[in-house]
Chains A and B, each alone.
Chain A
Amino acid sequence: MLRLLAPILLLAGAVALAIIGDRPQPPASYTFLSSADAFTLDPQRMSYDQDMRIAHAIYDGLVRWDPYTFDIIPGVAERWDVSPDGLVYTFHLRDNARWSNGDPVTAQDFRYSWRRALMPDTAANYTSLFFVIDGAREFFDWRSQQLAEHAARPAAERTRAAAQRLRLDAEERFRETVAIDTPDARTLTVTLSRPAAYFLDLCAFPIFFAVHRESVEAWADVDPVTGRIDQRHGWTKPPHLISSGAYKVVSWRFKRDMRLERNEHYWDSASVRSDSVRMVVIEDPSTRVLAFETGAADWNTDVAVDYLGDMLDARARGERHDVHPISRFGTYFWHFNCMPTLTGGRPNPFHDARVRRAFTMSMNKHDIVGKVRRGGEDIATTFVPPGSIPGFDPEGSIVGLPYDPPAARALLEDAGWTRNESGALTDRAGTPFPVVELLASTGAYHDRVALAMGAMWETELGVRTRVVRKETKTYRDDLLRRDYMLARGGWLGDYGDPTTFLNLHRTGDGNNHRGFSNPNFDDLLDRADRETDPQKRMRYLEEAERMTMEVELPILPIWHYATSYQFHPDQLKGLSTHPRLTQYLHYIYKVDPAKADPNPSSPPTKPSGTGVPPVSSKTSDFSAPVSKGQSPQTPPESDASSAMQSSEPTPSAEGAHP
């Protein structure tokens, strides 16, 4: 009998061993659920939302956004000057900015971090954002060239010492070529290659945050074979991670949870409303909702379940008060392949802008959003979400194309495509319109959207359609090779300027997967780049947006993204609903509903700390009733409830930078 029990005892012993040492964490001031773990806490390498959410909590930039209005407010820099020509920025750093180990945050820290972002070695996803700094592009190309030459040398010459020399040369070269100067530890001067009104906005973006040089360098070495700096990432994990923001990371367990606690050296500690924050990673959307509903967390950052439509209906009927759709700075669209021919040399009917317009105008976006997507997002007729960028199209004059099937058929006729007696679309010689192929990636709602779009075109235009479903990697390969007719796409803006969207349509841009090229459009963007008057500059950009959304249609915009949060508005305060959708975790705090605010819709009052953003009316009123069907011109932030949700498994953006 003992022998029979032995395997069982062995198993029980192993289980006990595995459990030992896995202790649950103490409760935090508030807990939120994230749909994915942070990929990296190295700010220069970040590109995902969940990473940046942590970055805003543990690092402080030169400046920061007021999350409720997206005005620029001071961060590590207490003030800054801009030269009259808009080219030279001088930041004056405050003397009480400290790293979490007590070291002062210096101008040199920023220069070091920006150099990291510009070194091809770092493989930063957002390197190109730094190219607005004078000499940055040249430095990046020079270092790439230097590394390529090293890699081409015979193996015997590729030594550690040689790689070390390359690194020192690169540091020297950076000092000489890139216009970032540090006259003293508290002054940082940056010269741009062209006036870029959005440079301050970039400085509030995590990629531009500083890292603690000493602790980062401790984990860096050179790779003799390629000459690259080989950065290991032990420094991003507690206790090695030195932070400069409101919190420090006290524990990070891969794909499980992260715990942040107050950084006692933070200069603006008066603005920190919660002493500790806990992030719990739950990838499955239903489990996330159940975890929230059983009280495991105070805030679910992405509802994204299949039954979200039902939850939103319940909210509209007043039966649910914990789901809050919030619009985002991005657009869901379908790519039109704009090349003259398709794979295999077949002529591409979508090369003709009239055909692209006709297909756009014969699609009922309201039905797609309301019946297929079932989140009730605002439909999109433009690429730049209306009202999201101050100064861009303030009158809402860019309206895009309406839903108008008869006009669409007239356009097709103009382009040489007519319906024959059996209703099929043919050219004058009687050759039928090619079968319209819609390339969707699997695993989300894209194929359902594609089926609905196809059905509309079959009815309205008399074309035949086919949905091509491909696994994400293969879909992406096809997209990059432009081996498609129409393909699903989407884009989330990075910084508060229309070029974050419009650059996608530039000839040869790395994200121009459509092969779209229009010299007039490129010229408008070039003129905007050179223009020093911000107002005139916006007019050029408006013209560019109008051209692509009313005439050229390289993409077919369908809806503006939104995310649904889940939280109890009487218990959790301080969340922003601005469409740029960035949360500073230290502004968020929990209140005891028993001692609830007599006026639950009033915005949170903030202590009058130096860097605390002014409280504005844009702190959303989550107890307001739902109002659907707003016109697309209404700025989305004016009423959070108008925007609905999207369940993209979304990183910060879907697409590639050049």
Chain B
Amino acid sequence: MTGLILRRLIQAPLILLVIYTITFLLAWALPGSAVLSDEGRQPPPEVLAAMEAQYNLDNPVAFYFGYLKGVVTALDFGPSFRYPDWTVNDIVASALPVSVALGLSAILIALMIGVAAGVVGAVRPNSFADIATLVIALIGISMPAFVIGSVLLIVFPVWLGIGSVGAWGTIPDMILPAITLSLPFAAYIARLTRMGMIESLGADYIRTARAKGVAERVVILRHALKNAFLPVLSFLGPAAAQAMTGSFVVEKVFNVPGLGQHFVNGVLNKDLFLIMGVVLIYASMLIAFNLIVDILYHWVDPRIEQA
């Protein structure tokens, strides 16, 4: 266990370095100028040239190492060209807690819906309840978030007067975006749980448990679900990281001030430091979450030897 954690901690910087290099190459290749904004008045050309010199935009090698040095020595992700009053650190500090709260609540909702639906489906395969959850899962996966989000916005705040539009900061504000974001995950978790449950319900130890006269509720929840849950658990790591950062559309529809928008806008604006900053932070989170899941996995089922 300790070995696993140590190995991962040694791997992490190397993985991050590779990600940094690839991101740098891609971001550098983006068309257009980093200091020139798309619209609006521009400073005189000599000013733009001086800015490019200050940030090493005229020298890719100096830029690559200069930025890396700032990040490693001072955790300084640099200024944003697009938002002169804010540094990348400011932007991430304001957006990351929002994305974490939204992403994790979405995963929480997805777990509750998904596991419940999966268990119901597995206990009575091909029943009405099973088929209904299958259909709902299919909708959850295939319906784009901007459709579900817009429908929820129109039904709840606009028609029924429940909740608010475009606000963020209280728990009620979070419910609709979290549900929208959770649906694809819930659908996937439901299918994973159902599959795992059907498999373990047919296993010998379940027959033994039933033969001993263990109550059906206990058989399902304590004996079967425990094993069926393992694939869900390994899915949770990447899913949590994805939910926390991949919510651009949900952020847009519900006006959530999260991190997802900066991935997209950073690229559109060629805001180099912002792109590098958010990618590095996302990558670190992904690595951390995978590690946490591995630790949990081991703890839930000590039989598993981590390689």
Contacts and interface: CB of A to CB of B under 8 A. Distances in A.
B226 A296 contact: no
A184 interface: no
B169 A39 contact: no
A23 to B, nearest CB: 7
B101 interface: yes
A237 B252 CA distance: 25
A281 B94 CA distance: 14
B94 A282 contact: no
Given A7-B233, A42-B84, A15 B101 contact: yes
Contact of A11 (B108, B165, B168): B108
A4 B40 contact: no
Interface centre among A15, A649, A650 (most CB of B within 10 A): A15
Interface in B98-115: 98, 100-101, 104-105, 107-108, 111
Interface in B232-254: 233, 236, 240, 252-254
A4 B230 CA distance: 9
B38 A652 contact: no
Interface string B30-59: 111000111111111111101101100000
Interface stretch (B13-21, B135-143, B152-160): B152-160
Contacts of B94: 253-256
A120 B44 CA distance: 8
B164 interface: yes
A395 B291 CA distance: 75
A494 B40 CA distance: 11
Interface string B275-307: 000000000000000000000100110000000
Contacts of B47: 120, 123-124, 127, 144
A22 B257 CA distance: 12
A219 to B, nearest CB: 11
Interface stretch (B4-12, B85-93, B199-207): B85-93
Interface in A35-57: 37-42, 45, 47-48
A290 B84 CA distance: 30
Interface string A466-504: 000001111011000000000000000010000000000
A473 B53 CA distance: 21
Contact of A287 (B37, B54, B253): B253
Contacts of B101: 15, 18-19, 22
B32 A233 contact: no
B221 interface: yes
B97 A18 contact: yes
A331 B95 CA distance: 36
B25 interface: no
A291 B165 contact: yes
Given A45-B84, A233-B84, A654-B40, A4 B46 contact: no
Interface residue range, chain A: 35 or more
Nearest to A37: B83
Contacts of A510: 42, 44-45
Contact of B257 (A11, A253, A649, A651): A253
Contacts of A8: 108, 111
B257 A287 contact: no
A283 B257 CA distance: 10
A651 B39 CA distance: 7
Interface string A11-42: 11011001100111100000001000111111
A281 B168 CA distance: 11
A653 B39 CA distance: 7
Interface centre among B85, B171, B240 (most CB of A within 10 A): B85
B32 A657 contact: no
A223 B105 CA distance: 44
A555 B41 CA distance: 19
Nearest to B257: A256
A147 B50 contact: yes
A126 B41 contact: yes
Contacts of A10: 296
A608 interface: no
Contacts of A126: 41
Interface string B152-192: 01100110010011111111001000000000000000000
A242 B197 CA distance: 63
A45 B105 CA distance: 39
A127 B48 CA distance: 12
Nearest to A254: B94
Nearest to B42: A656
B285 to A, nearest CB: 12
A286 interface: yes
B126 interface: no
B212 interface: no
A495 to B, nearest CB: 12
B202 to A, nearest CB: 20
A596 interface: no
A233 B89 CA distance: 13
A228 interface: yes
A241 to B, nearest CB: 10
B50 A296 contact: no
B127 interface: no
Interface in B114-147: none
Contact of A477 (B32, B44, B296): B32
B268 A11 contact: no
Given A291-B255, A294-B165, A476 B85 contact: no
Contacts of A12: 108
B41 A290 contact: no
Contact of B38 (A225, A294, A472): A472
Contacts of B167: 24, 280, 291, 296
Given A15-B101, A151-B53, A283-B255, A3 B300 contact: yes
A476 B255 contact: no
A284 interface: yes
Interface string A146-174: 01100100000000000000000000000
B44 A6 contact: no
A582 B170 CA distance: 34
Nearest to A13: B104
Given A256-B168, A294-B165, A654 B39 contact: yes
A287 B153 contact: yes
A226 B169 CA distance: 42
Given A6-B296, A6-B299, A654-B39, 18 more contacts: A1-B221, A3-B300, A11-B107, A12-B108, A18-B104, A24-B170, A47-B40, A121-B50, A124-B43, A148-B50, A236-B85, A254-B83, A281-B257, A290-B153, A294-B157, A471-B268, A472-B38, A651-B39
Interface of A: 1, 3-4, 6-8, 10-12, 14-15, 18-19, 22-25, 33, 37-42, 45, 47-48, 120-121, 123-128, 140, 144, 147-148, 151, 223, 225-226, 228, 233, 236-237, 253-256, 280-284, 286-288, 290-291, 293-294, 296, 471-474, 476-477, 494, 510, 649-658
9 contacts: A1-B221, A4-B300, A11-B111, A15-B100, A33-B166, A37-B83, A287-B153, A476-B32, A652-B41
The 9 closest A-B pairs by CB, nearest first: A473-B32, A18-B101, A291-B166, A651-B40, A656-B42, A125-B41, A291-B165, A233-B85, A24-B169
